[in-house]
Amino acid sequence: MKRGFYTIMGAQFFSSLADNALLIASIALLAELHGPAWMTPLLKFFFTVSYVSLAAFVGAFADSMPKGRVMFYTNGIKIAGCMMMFFYNLLLIPGLPDYATVVIAYAVVGLGAAAYSPAKYGILTELLPPAQLVVANGWIEGLTVLSIIIGTVLGGALVSPAVSTALLSVDILPINTGVDTPAEAAILIIAVFYMIAAIFNLYIPDTGARYEAQKPNPITLARHFWHCQTTLWRDKLGQISLGVTTLFWGAGATLQFIVLRWAESHLSLRLDKGALLQGVTAIGIALGAVVAARFIPLKRSLSVLGVGVAMGMVVMTMTLVSSMPLVYGLLILVGALAGFFVVPMNALLQHRGHVLLSAGHSIAVQNFNENISILVMLALYSVMIKADFHINTIIIIFGGFVSLTMLAVIKRYHHNQSQSNALHLIGMEKH
């Protein structure tokens, strides 16, 4: 791998770590402010809205300048959102409860993340040849999952009684914001990790890739984005890989909250302990990603589709276990299956997007679809929570949906193959 790849990995690690730690701190802050339970998944919902609403524009922004500079600017937006959450009591909006400000602040972090994403993935196709994309994605996904593990555990630790008491006792908060709480202490420390990511951003190399001048007219950008969207969905390989990654990210975001609620109601664990279970799932994803990167080349990427069906079925067995060793083993297995099938699909989608479109625009299309899935699935999850569905019922519905959707994707792939051999498209030169 080129040296610049490792700088990208460093920037991604610290930025993702901060995102995940901040989610746990945000949940703790909502609890401190007595926000209703159904508001918790809405944190991620509003974080994700930016990915969808800005999809037509962030691709053009990512291609308008060197990707490292884009990552630096957008990481700055994340820092601004983090600070908004820290000073939430100074930014109260008339007519809205105080916990609404927390959700809005996390949405600003999502704004930075939405613009950050096309740059962090788009630079891979500029820096590396297609043959290295699965390996690169394996490393990026593995490192991202490591950051999820450490970030989630860090967030849980920072809001735990022992750590938060120690932090507050040494006056970690020199600025008097009116309320010195565990969540507030955690948010201030998390901001430091965003700043470390910004330092890495400054050292990301310029790949030399340049694209035609981006048109500032929003209508033109929207039309071009729609063209990119239809191009990928009509492509015989693009539609399969896009369908799988769309399902995966929607399911993954929802599973985060399912695990937290399952830990609370089924296993009687506090938030900081439930956050550790998220980390256990992420360990499995890292293992699956590494195995996929080692054994699944780009040309065999579609051979992993059946693993998605198995993942949904395994998720449903969460309702049957309560012994902690079995809980850990099951969550690692769920994560491993997820990581094993999504890494090759992600690499295939990036390759097809780079061949048919451009680095920034293809990632923007991917983000749009994946985050529409997150919004829909989180909204449905919030509705089920508000309707007081039992967590076991939610898990059965969730796992069954994943398995049935993956079966539909496999059926579509076989249909495409019956018409023509779509696999020859892998390795096509850009035209």
Looking at residue 212, its pLDDT comes to: 63
Worst-scoring range by mean pLDDT, 91-100, 207-216, 339-348? 207-216
Average pLDDT over residues 323-333: 92
Over residues 413-426, the mean pLDDT reads: 69
Angle between helices 98-127 and 133-159 (to 10 degrees): 160
Instruction: Encode pLDDT of 168-189 as tens digits.
Output: 776 555 555 444 788 888 898 9
* Spatial separation of the C-alpha atoms in residues 189 and 87, rounded to whole Å: 14
pLDDT tens digit string along 359-372? 566 777 887 888 88
CB 124 within 8 A of CB 137: yes
| Cα 247 versus chain centre, distance | 12
Residue 428 has pLDDT above 60, yes or no: no
One-letter amino acid for residue 55 of the chain: A
DSSP 8-state class, residue 311? H
- Is residue 315 over pLDDT 90? yes
Q: What confidence category does residue 216 fall into, taking pLDDT thresholds of 50, 70 and 90?
A: low
Q: Parse the chain into domains and list their residue ranges.
A: 3-423
- The answer to whether residues 309 and 399 touch, using CB atoms and an 8 Å cutoff, is no
220-264: pLDDT as tens digits: 878 888 888 898 888 888 888 888 888 888 888 888 889 888 988
> At 171, phi and psi to the nearest 5?
55, 50
Indicate whether 431 pLDDT > 50.
Answer: no
The superfamily CATH assigns to domain 3-423 is MFS general substrate transporter like domains (1.20.1250.20)
**Residue 429 pLDDT:** 42
Q: Under a CB-based contact definition with an 8 Å cutoff, are residues 245 and 253 in contact?
A: no
Distance CA 117, CA 374 (A): 15
Instruction: Identify which of 79, 98, 82, 81 has the alpha carbon closest to the alpha carbon of residue 90.
Output: 98
Q: 92, 101 in Cβ contact below 8 A? A: yes
Q: What's the token pair of residue 383?
A: 């509705």
Pairwise CA distance, residues 74 & 123, whole Å: 15
Say yes or no to pLDDT of 100 above 60.
yes
Q: Are 231 and 90 in contact (CB under 8 A)?
A: no
Report the candidate in 383, 390, 389 with the shortest Cα–Cα distance to residue 41. Answer: 383
- Chain Cα centroid distance, residue 317: 24
Using CB atoms within 10 Å of the CB of residue 387, give its burial: 0 to 12 exposed, 13 to 18 middle, 19+ buried: exposed
| pLDDT at residue 248, as a whole number | 85
